[in-house]
Every structure is written in structure tokens, then in C-alpha cells.
Amino acid sequence: MTGIAASLLGITVLILQFTPVMGIFVALFSVLSVYEILRTAQVKNKPMFVVCCIVAAAIPPAVEYKIFDRYPLPIYTLLFAYVFILFALMLAQYEKTRFEHTAISFFVSTMIPCSMSSLMLIRDMYKVTDFDPYTKTNCVFLVLFALMCAWITDTAAFFFGRKFGRHKMAPNISPKKSWEGAIGGIVGNTAVSLIVWACFQFAAKKGLVTALFMPAWAVAAASVVLSVAAMLGDLSASAVKRNYGVKDFGTIMGMGNGGAMDRFDSALFAIPATYGIILLYESIR
């Protein structure tokens, strides 16, 4: 899949985000990412591999259709049962399964789908009666904002770092990343976020959409925080790859473009951070 095809896929998901397409995309991405990381970590326990992919595929639909709201399932009991199953699978094939395989299997198969499922929580904020100002327009902006902060930060940091980078940020993890690039990523993302915010507000004045409830200062402040979150996600993924001695998690995105996880590593931190910022903003405004 080329970069253009990936961009078209992202645009399609944004346009159809109020349909089951987003849930399908999140589930598919979660399974692909879990598969890529477990393969990178050389998890050879096939039953464990399959169970992790099933769990990763099941969490997004559970969030999409509010299963945990409709049925008050004891989440801690479910997590313990899942840990119990993974340990049982480890013991069944102990000769080729180390504890770290079990630990990383549990971590990625829960963290990745839960993180990406935050997109649906952000999208559905207009359904939450406690948050009156939220409309579909606001939710579209917030979903776009979460993804944009991840990708614009990465892009701006890359170009700023290539042009002005002098001081290495984490030479033992990602030698090409610099502090100058990081600053450029934050500045570039904040600028683009404010431009997009202004476009939404202009469209609202023309009566095309409803007005956004977040003021410019809140968007700017959130952009800075989300840029930092995106960079932490990127560096964390780089640390994992460095640990296993690989350049990319996969090749599904095409020659030289890496896998699904390589394209969304920064978004894995930026998306739940966006949801957290929304809840924090609502609690203080």
C-alpha cells in the first residue's frame, strides 16, 4: 500500500466516521499492529498469538457498540481471566514461550485497541448529555485534531530536523531525531491546528457548520501537549524496534514505508491524550 493509498484510506475513514467504517478500521489496525509487534518480538506460541489477535479485534467493537455500558461486565475480572489464559498458554508451550513473550502479548493486545478505540469515544462525545456544547461538527474537528497532531508533528519535526537539527534528542534510540526538529514539530503542529480551527470557525460563520466550542488558546495549548505525546509515542516505538534490532515493524504500507504500527505509533499516544484533554477541559471550564 503506497503513501497515497494510505492517505486516501485515512480520508475515507474521516468522512465515514459516523458509520461502522471507523470501528472496522480500528479493529483491523489493532489486529495488524498486534501481529506486527508479536512477530517482531518473536512470539512463537501460535495459540497465544491467535488469542491476542482475537482480543485486539474484539475490543474496538465492544467500545463502538457500548458493550461495557449495556452490560456491567467486571473489567478487572475480565483482565484477570485474560491473564490466566495467557499464562495457561505459556505453560502449555513453555519450551518456546518466555515470560516476556506473555507480558508483551498482554500489553500490546490491550493497549493498542484501547488506545485506538479512543477515536470512537471522541467521535461520540455529542451523545454524552453532560457535554452540551458538543455537536457532530465539534466531534469531527476533535477526531481530525487528534490524528492531525500526530502526523503534522512527525512531518514538521522531520523537515525542521533535517534542515536545522544540531542537537540529538535520543541518540541511542533514534539518532536522526533532534531537539530542533522537536521544537519545529510543536510549532508547525500548533500553527496548522490553529489554521484548521480558523477554517472551521469561518465555515460556522457562513452557516455551513456549527461553531467550535474550544477557543483558540485551548487549541494552541492542547496542540503543544499532543505534540509532546506524539513524540513520546514515536520514540517509544523506536525504542521497541531498537530493542529487537529491526528498522520497521512490518511492510504492509509498501516498500520502505513500514507497517501499520510504523504509521500510527505517534497516534497511539496522541489519541488517548486528546480524550484525556477533553475530559480535563470539561472539568475546569
pTM strictly above 0.75: yes
Q: Span 173-186, mean pLDDT?
A: 92
Residue 57 pLDDT greater than 60, yes or no? yes
Residue 93 pLDDT greater than 50, yes or no? yes
Query: Which comes out higher in pLDDT, residue 132 or 66?
Result: 66
State the Cα–Cα distance between residues 87 and 33, nearest whole angstrom. Answer: 22
E strands along 164-241, which residues?
168-170, 174-178
Q: Which range of residues forms the domain containing residue 29?
A: 3-284
pLDDT of residue 281: 86
Q: 219 and 271 in contact (C-beta within 8 Å)?
A: no
pLDDT of residue 2: 42
State the Cα–Cα distance between residues 126 and 18, nearest whole angstrom. Answer: 11
User: By CB neighbour count within 10 A (0-12 exposed, 13-18 middle, 19+ buried), where does 207 fall?
Assistant: exposed
Residue 1 pLDDT greater than 50, yes or no? no
Number of domains, the chain:
1
Please state, rounded to an integer, the average pLDDT across all residues of the chain. 89
